[in-house]
Amino acid sequence: MDANIIYTNRDYNTSLTGEDTLSKGKDTIWGYKIVRNGELKYYKKNATAAFTSAPPSDIKQINKITNMRIKNEYLPNDTIIGYLEEKMPAKTISLKIRDKTHQGDKGTHIKTGSVCGNDGMKKAKIKYFIHKVLDNDRYDATYKTSDVPGKPNLCNELELYLRNNEHMKKNKFRWLYTQEEALERKLNTKK
């Protein structure tokens, strides 16, 4: 996943800025974006190949292109998605699972997701997510309870399946979002 890398043509869209980089061939790296303390920060590569904070006008341009891309994304309402989120103050990255299967359209019915493996999430729920993501019963009734991994390992397994589906573009929609993409799409808020 190269979601953190900002490419000149793909993400900055030089045709809108008047700069001619399309004729130079291969897309070049413009900079990168990263979450710092819950906020999205943008850094631009300068002439000496060092990275400096991007000016507000460039950030506005990148956000315009990003929002156009987000509008064109297909995300069915009956799916499970995962996204990464930084937990403060520990500054740890957690996998959050958003089950859109029975989600309504009103703010009170929109689910923002649950941290995979938290105290309130049972092993059966994680197994259900794995079954939905794989489209099969990986841990069916033939498995002994003692043979099913613990919650941390089930969450790791679920994240791997989400990453694989994302990489394979299974069903032609998104399965897993980075921290940056989750902030851009407001996945952790009730839109």
Average pLDDT for runs of 10 along the chain of length 191: 83 60 67 91 93 95 90 76 88 88 59 86 92 87 86 95 92 90 85 60
* pLDDT value of position 111: 67
* pLDDT value of position 17: 47
CB 81 within 8 A of CB 182: no
CB 97 within 8 A of CB 113: yes
Residues 6+ apart with CB under 8 A from 146: none
Residues 6+ apart with CB under 8 A from 150: 123
Task: Find, among 106, 107, 125, the residue nearest to 115 by Cα.
Answer: 125
* pLDDT value of position 106: 58
The total of other beta-carbon atoms located within 10 Å of residue 121's CB is 17
* pLDDT value of position 20: 47
* pLDDT value of position 21: 46
* pLDDT value of position 82: 93
List the strands of the sheet with 51-53, edge to edge.
Answer: 5-7, 29-36, 39-45, 51-53
* pLDDT value of position 14: 56
Task: Find, among 130, 112, 88, 116, the residue nearest to 182 by Cα.
Answer: 112
CB 172 within 8 A of CB 74: yes
